[in-house]
Structure 1
Amino acid sequence: MDVPGWPLIFRGSAAVGAGLVTARRLQGPAFVRVLPDTWAARHLVPLGHADRCRAVFRWSGGRGVIAGWAAAELSGAPCAPAGAPVDVVLPVRARAPAGVRVRRDRLHPGEIGWCDGVRVTTPLRTAFDLARGRDETAAVVAVDALAFRHGFAPDLLLNFAVRYRGLRGVAGVPGVLGLADRRAMSPPETRLRLLLVRAGLPRPEVQHPVLDDARRRAVWLDLAYPAPRVGIEYEGADHTGPDRVLRDATRVTRLVDAGWRIYRYTRFDLRDEPGRIVAEIGRALDHAPTSGTP
């Protein structure tokens, strides 16, 4: 008898019933109970995100569909807030264990796919679900991340808003889509853009190319105001490696030489001093000389 997930992540009762393991051995050092009647090989613990989703899928008896933040992460669009539960859509009522949130949403068959052996909501449906969240910033971050990763236009989510007009949060979807931009390459870039727009500053261009004629290539700015040549960069952890630091130094120098004013911000700036960011960019736009778009 085949037991889904054996011997890595599986239903304990099914494995015992199939004679693959005894109840006593299941309680031994080789396995760890991660959810009710759901066990994992000890070497997998602590579970990574994909394995957490597999565990929830096994716990659901294969009837569930992983949704929400968990589906976004599983699909390759990292954007979930820290500590977000694994959402699972089930056709029946069930008591959710810790770290799991059970939903009974209506899903069209075309809104369900597979990822790493787990049933998940498709990227479009996932984006629609997250666009209905109460936190507008988190909703825009999710739509941006999924649209960038999967290459769809955010406005496609309006089709879901029409189909499911009675669902909670649907009324806020158009506003989220009005702020979304599928060119954003990371959640902090989205948050930085929203900070500026909500402060009343003009909406910046996203991933703006600046041509470097001498090297016959383009340099891309995270955010930019092309006419006054004000560029804004988010410096994440991937910018801290020695080689990247050296490349960034050359890159910024060439942009400055081309007449650009470059403002570089980190997660600490976003977290601790958002007002300073707004003030600095506001002053840059107020005092910058107007020039033709490069």
Structure 2
Amino acid sequence: MIDDEPLPLLVRVPSLGSDSREATRLRRAASAGRWRRLHPGSYVRADEWDALTPRRRHVLMVESALGRTGARHAVSHLSAAALLRTPVLGDWPDRVHVTDPDALGPQSTVALVKHQGPLEDDEVSSLRGVRLTTPARTAADLALGTRSLEEVTVVLDDLLHRELTTKEAVLASLDRRPRARGQAGARRALAFADGRSDSAGESRTRVLLHRLGAPVPVLQRRFELGRGRWDPHVDFWFPDQGCVLEFDGVSKYTQSRWRGSLTPEQVVVKEKLREDAIRRQADVRAFVRCTAWHLGDPRRLRSLLESAGVPCSR
């Protein structure tokens, strides 16, 4: 098992047995939509595949491709991010990414994208028996790529927040490849990253605040709610404007991971009481919430901020 939860069973047929009765049965079942072919000779039940999250689908693809990787290959880039349970923006790749220190150049097959580059022993770790790049090397690889600041920040913030790596470790990985393309952008993204952001939504909001030219907010500010009670934190605090900004993700209300034993209705009531208590603070003059809808268009977030007295210079 290479994920934190059991994955569907992969059924494999040897390449030498591609004309066997079992191989023929699986090909026909895949054509009929009952099974899904991940790689040549590797199949999973279609209903079990459909039930997986996008990240766990890619993890299953990594498991399917392991027989095609060499002894010195390490799962890397977005594929390593999937194994590390790191959120990413956009789609997961349809092929598994590995780094091959012996490759003469980038190579691609039906199952793999092979990245060329040096790979030191201390840049490789093991997760449930799978060789993959360390969190620091994974972060550096993705930061060096052509991904946007928003995409890189989501990855970096998450790895820093969960204390899987540090800025110093990522910087050391970048320093090992001084001539790699994308160094300037990677270092800017690393300087901007902040492990106090504890969700992809907060990271995206932080990037958009930066692009809008909003004042730099205080992250995870706590307020005393009276009788010795402290609010765990608010996402963003603009002290000069007395404004609290919270990113409101749907998962807070729908996923048991976040709401615990509370019903969605109870979470709504709890959030309302918490907001009322924060609004009563003497230095709080505004409390606003943004959602993924606001992040989809900078004009929406700008309008929300300006209505709360937070200026935007861009």
Q: Distance in 2 between matches of 1:62 and 1:24?
A: 31
Q: Which residue of 2 aligns with 1:3?
A: none
1:55 deviates by: 1.4
1:119 aligned residue: 131
Distance 2:303 2:234 in 1: 20
Structure 1 residue 254, shift from structure 2 partner: 0.8
Deviation, 1:107, is 1.2
Q: Which residue in the other structure is 1:269 paired with?
A: 294
Q: Residue 286 and residue 168 in structure 1: after superposition, are their counterparts in 2 closer, same or farther (change >3 A)?
A: closer
1:140 matches 2:153: yes
Deviations 1:60-94 (A, max 9, x none): 25653221122112112222422434322234465
Distance in 1 (alpha carbons) for counterparts of 2:222 and 2:165? 21
Task: Answer yes or no: is the 8 Å Cα contact 1:57–1:64 preserved in 2.
Answer: no
Partner Cα distance (1:150, 1:65) in 2: 22
Provide the C-alpha distance between the structure 2 equivalents of 1:222 and 1:216, rounded to a whole number of angstroms.
Answer: 18
Once the two structures are TM-superposed, the CA of residue 167 in structure 1 deviates from its matched residue by 1.2
- Superposed counterparts of 1:48-67, under 5 Å: 48-60=57-69, 63-67=72-76
Matched, 1:25 2:22: yes
Task: Assess if the C-alpha contact under 8 Å between 2:78 and 2:142 holds in 1.
Answer: yes
What is the SS of the residue equivalent to 2:117?
coil
Question: Residue 11 of structure 1 contacts residue 58 of structure 1 at CA under 8 Å; is this kept in 2?
Answer: no
- Does structure 2 retain, via aligned residues, the 8 Å contact 1:56–1:88? no
Q: Which runs of 5+ in 1 are unaligned?
A: 1-6, 288-294
1:67 maps to amino acid: S
One-letter code of the match for 1:269?
H
Q: Is the 8 A contact 1:69 1:130 kept in 2?
A: yes
Q: Write the mapping of 1:61-210 to structure 2, written as runs, cut at 5 A.
A: 63-85=72-94, 86-90=96-100, 91-92=102-103, 94-97=107-110, 100-134=112-146, 135-210=148-223
Structure 1 residue 14 displacement after superposition? 7.1
Which residue of 2 is the match for residue 292 of structure 1? none
Q: Against the structure 1 CA distance between its residues 11 and 89, is the aligned structure 2 distance closer, same or farther, given a 3 Å change threshold? A: farther
CA contact (8 A) 1:10 1:55 kept: no
1:222, 1:95 → 2: CA distance?
A: 42
Contact 1:53 1:70 in 2 (8 A): yes
Residues 84-118 of structure 1: CA deviation (Å, up to 9, x unaligned): 343222344653226x5321232111111122432
Equivalent residue for 2:45?
A: 42
Calculate the TM-score normalised by the size of structure 1.
0.81
* Corresponding residue SS for 1:178: helix
Shift of 1:253: 0.9
Q: Closer, same or farther in 2 for the Cα pair 1:94/1:195, shift >3 Å?
A: closer
Q: Secondary structure at the match of 2:151?
A: helix
Number of equivalences: 274
Which stretch shows the higher mean deviation, 79-88 or 64-73? 79-88
* Cα deviation, residue 41, structure 1: 4.3
Is the CA contact (8 Å cut-off) linking 1:72 and 1:80 kept in structure 2?
no
Aligned to 1:253: 276
Equivalent residues of 1:224, 1:232 under 8 A apart: yes
CA 1:186/1:111 → structure 2, altered by over 3 Å: closer, same or farther?
same
Partner Cα separation in structure 2 for residue 41 and residue 152 of structure 1: 34
Evaluate the alpha carbon distance shift between residue 286 and residue 22 of structure 1 in structure 2; reply closer, same or farther with a 3 A threshold.
closer
For structure 2, the residue ranges without an aligned partner over 5 or more in a row are 1-7, 30-34, 254-263
What is the identity, as a one-letter code, of the residue corresponding to 1:87? H
For residue 4 of structure 1, what is the aligned residue in structure 2? none
Indicate the SS of the match to 1:150. coil
The code of the aligned residue for 2:287 comes to I
The match for 2:302 is 278
Aligned to 1:290: none
Provide the secondary structure at the position in 2 that maps to 1:222.
strand
Q: Which amino acid aligns with 1:274?
A: P
Deviation track 1:156-206 (CA, whole Å, cap 9, x = no partner) reads: 322122111111212222211221101111122111111112222221122
Do residues 230 (structure 1) and 243 (structure 2) align?
A: yes
Letter in structure 2 aligned against 1:52? M
